[in-house]
Structure 1
Amino acid sequence: MTTAAPPRIELSELGPIAQLRSGRLVRRLVQLYAGLLLYGFAIALMVRGHLGLAPWDVLHSGLTKHFPIDIGQALVIVSFVVMLAWVPLREIPGVGTISNAIVIGLSTDAFLAVLPTPHELGVRAGLLVGGIVLQGVATAAYIGAQLGRGPRDGLMTGLARRTGRSLRLVRTLMELTVVAIGLLLGGVAGVGTILYAVSIGPLSQALLPPLLVQTGNPSDRPLEKNL
């Protein structure tokens, strides 16, 4: 008995101008910004759940303990610092890259301003699970729009290409590093951090095919499953 192969997932490797000219732009822009706003909402849910944050958000929350900034502002700052590493890696940002760096951070702080802080454990657990699931949807949405990788995604793919290591290994090492730094800074980690780490990859992978907007570019190449 044989099992069906998983669907082939292809992302275009276009420059920023070509991304905008590759068709279905309105659909892709709407999907991009909906995904980014949803991502900010999902982060806010996890923050209010107070059961642990995603690895990069552990770092962002740690920075808020030492600087007069909110977690969303920390996210924006770190995003642009990460993008500096794109230069030697020769990664090319797109409109989605810049939007990712700004919209997610601003929307996170906006949603945190209106979301209450629950005390019941069951409600907090629901916020945690909801935040992780919605981040999976949001990740698939903004990647599927094919308007440029997020700052952290580009750093991961650039390092993998330069070092010849797998995306799985590079992503794991990156996230272990940022969690360690975040914990040293006093960031918020917990069971949610572990749950996020083991579930976000499979979630994003499963949700990407229906949200992937094909640009019709013949130079598309497969996206590795561990992105």
Structure 2
Amino acid sequence: MAELIAKPKRLLDRDREWSLLREFLLDPAVQLRQAIVSGRRRNGKSFLLEALTEAAGGLYLTAIQEEGRVLALQRFSELIAAHAGVRPGALRLDGWQDVLSTALDVVNRAPGASLLVIDELPYLLQHSPEVPGFLQLLYDQSQFGKAPGGRIVLCGSAMSIMSELLSGTKPLRGRAVLDLRLPAFDFRTARIHWGVEDPATALLVDSVLEPVTISV
């Protein structure tokens, strides 16, 4: 498995972040492990995690703003069914506990790494604030062999919400082995991304674009 999770060439820089996520994914523990990935919008978080999921053969789910609970449950059910290789409409999951436990069952049985990525988590929490509680329950049960193992990555751009996930008395406090914040590119890396050959021009471009960060 280790040699299959090489960083793809289309992914610029991010060697450190890829190494940390790869180490998290290849942790030999059979129990459930969770990671948090956060950062400002358009820093390339989704691009990074989509590449990781593709390389590892995992399951990538993303929430949609203002989608609503019912439609989100339906769409997630269809994506989980597709990953499991069953026909569309064959899987109907009516609650987030069922969605999360079934997704973990599927990634543990399917070829590839037992990886589940939930992107744009804050959008999900707008209509389903109980999700972290169910993640806590699965995590705790997994430590005693009563729930599936695997690896879950939770990602989001709302920094205040993502930072609070592990704070105080929140359900996930003490239950994440990796808390990764993705920074914007420095001007040297951004120069490569934008194809700006002159370093001075690259510095000026970065000084203008840095407040809105870099998209990859």
- TM-score clears 0.5: no
- Larger helix fraction of residues: 1
Higher RCO (C-alpha under 8 Å, 6+ residues apart):
1
TM-score by length of 1: 0.28
TM-score by length of 2: 0.29
